[in-house]
Structure 1
Amino acid sequence: MTTPDDDAPKPACPICGKPVVPAHKPFCSKRCADVDLQRWLGGHYAIPGREDDALGRDDGSHEE
């Protein structure tokens, strides 16, 4: 007999795609967690910002 949880999609590790291990959630292992941390620290996940002149700060004005 199956339960409704059996049909639910299993979460996958965002780094390698293997099944998630509760001890390292949302990753499958400490290695994948460390890979993700290194990507954050290395700036791979950086969100590009706007240039200062696009904010109107070069001429002393303030954008609101």
Structure 2
Amino acid sequence: MSPRSPAEAKCPICRRPTLAAFAPFCSPRCQDRDLLNWLGDGYALPGDPVDPDDIGLDKREGQD
């Protein structure tokens, strides 16, 4: 399977053809929608929930 050329690529938000200035999106509107999905937890990886208090803690801390 050959990689898609930029002319064939579709915007992941609205599926319109992408524009090089906004790649991989078609417009600043779709770029903004994607960013809002990330900031609003619209995208998530499967897995167990993490306690916010544990984020960024190194398990080795306090073992001096």
| TM-score where L is the length of structure 1 | 0.61
Of the three residues 15, 18, 35, the one matched with 1:17 is 15
Q: For the aligned residues, what is the CA RMSD?
A: 2.0
Query: Which whole-Å CA distance do the structure 1 matches of 2:17 and 2:49 have between them?
Result: 41
- In structure 2, runs of 5+ residues without a counterpart are 51-64
| TM-score where L is the length of structure 2 | 0.61
CA, structure 1 residues 28+48, in 2 after alignment: closer, same or farther (shift >3 Å)?
same
Larger radius of gyration, structure 1 or 2?
Answer: 1
Aligned residues: 45
Helix, strand or coil for the counterpart of 1:37? helix
Indicate whether 1:43 and 2:41 are aligned.
yes
- In structure 1, runs of 5+ residues without a counterpart are 1-7, 53-64
